[in-house]
Every structure is written in C-alpha cells, then in structure tokens.
Amino acid sequence: MKHSHWIVAPLLLLTTACLDLKPAPAPPVHWLDLNPPAVEMAPTGEAASAAKRDSVSLGRVSASEAITERLMRRTEAHEVRYDDYSRWTEDPAAVTRRALEEALYRQRSLRRASTLRLEVELVRLEIESDGRPAAVVTLIALAEDSGGVLVDRRFEGRAEVTVEGPAGEAAAASAALAAAVSDVADEVVGN
C-alpha cells in the first residue's frame, strides 16, 4: 500500500501534461494614426479674408500627463478608461504641433518670425462612449505679444464615430483634432 502513491503520482502528472494549460492569446494591438488630412484643416473663405495677422511664432505645444499613447475612453462624467490594445503610432503632442504648423504656415501662409507667440496644450483626447460615441479634442491656446495676451481660451473639436472599432475611433479623433486646430488658427489670425 505504501507504494501506491508512486503509481498514482506519475499517472496524475501524465494526465495534467495532456491538458492544454496555455492561456488564450491576447488580442492584437491596434496602432492608430492621429494625423488629420490637410484638406480637413483648410481655412474657410471668411477666415482668410478677415486675417489681421501675417505672422505668428509657434512656441511650446504640449499634452497633459493623462494623454498617453493609449486610446482613452470616457465611460462616465468623471471616469475614463485606457485601452491597452489601441495605441497611437505617434505622440499626440507632436501630431498636434505638426497640425498647427500646417494650419498656420502652409494653409494660411503666415510667416514664422513674429512678436506674437502661440503656446498650445492638448488637454483632452478621448472617445466619449456615453450615448452616441464621439471623439473629443480640447486645446488650450495662449497667444501673447508685447502688448499683452490676445488669446487665452479653450478650443474643442468634436466628431462622431461613424464606423465601429479602433479605425473608426481614430478617424473621428483625427477629424476632431483638425476642427480644434482650425479654430485655434482662425482665432490667432483674426486677432
């Protein structure tokens, strides 16, 4: 009887070895492009004709600490959740800077050297999932020159998510960023 556990132990070990104990593979990571198409950021005819400025110096463009490479979804008024499997291919602050350069210097043909200095902070880049899903981008812009502050306010871009999934959310975020950047550029040019 004392040797029966020597027989049972190898049988138990052989049985567990036959079982597949591997965990299910993790879902693939979706790499999302935030760069807005330049066409979406084109100034309106009214904005181009109402231009009071011909130059602006683009200073610091940053993002709040909450904005990371992971896609952020707002689930409640005071609750957000990060998606570990949906990530931006590039730092959102760098994309915002390029979008501002495109809107100011290429589309509105402003000169870069100026006493007017523009600083922008990206404070919100998320997908609202309460009700109809929408991408929301919020920028805080501060424009000042030797005469004082000309612009100091929030600009919000919003776009509905029309296609389900990460690609549709990225397209909506891109459109929301384009709208916010265009509003910033129009405000700076108009002052």
- Concatenate the DSSP letters of all residues of 124-168 into one string: EEEEE-SSS-EEEEEEEEEEEETTEEEEEEEEEEEEE--S-SHHH
User: How far, in Å, CA of 127 to CA of 163, rounded?
Assistant: 13
Choose the most confident range, by mean pLDDT, from 14-23, 89-98, 125-134.
89-98
- Residue 139: pLDDT band (50, 70, 90) is very high
- Residue 191: pLDDT band (50, 70, 90) is confident
- Residue 131: pLDDT band (50, 70, 90) is confident
- pTM as predicted: 0.81
- Residue 12: pLDDT band (50, 70, 90) is low
User: Is the residue at 1 inside a domain?
Assistant: no
User: Is the residue at 7 inside a domain?
Assistant: no
User: Is the residue at 41 inside a domain?
Assistant: yes
- The domain that contains 147 carries what CATH number? 3.40.50.10610
**What is the pLDDT, as a whole number, of residue 190?**
87
- Average pLDDT over the chain, rounded to whole? 87
Count up the domains in the chain and report the number: 1
User: Is the residue at 153 inside a domain?
Assistant: yes
Burial (CB count within 10 angstroms: exposed 0-12, middle 13-18, buried 19+), residue 64 = middle
Inter-residue contact 56 to 114 (CB < 8 Å): yes
User: Is the residue at 145 inside a domain?
Assistant: yes
Rounded percentage of the chain residues whose pLDDT exceeds 90:
60
Residue-wise pLDDT for 103-123, tens only, equals: 999 998 889 888 899 999 999
Residue-wise pLDDT for 53-88, tens only, equals: 789 999 999 999 999 999 999 988 889 999 999 999
Q: Which domain holds residue 68?
A: 30-190
User: Is the residue at 20 inside a domain?
Assistant: no
**What is the pLDDT, as a whole number, of residue 5?**
60
User: Is the residue at 9 inside a domain?
Assistant: no
User: Is the residue at 61 inside a domain?
Assistant: yes
Inter-residue contact 137 to 170 (CB < 8 Å): no
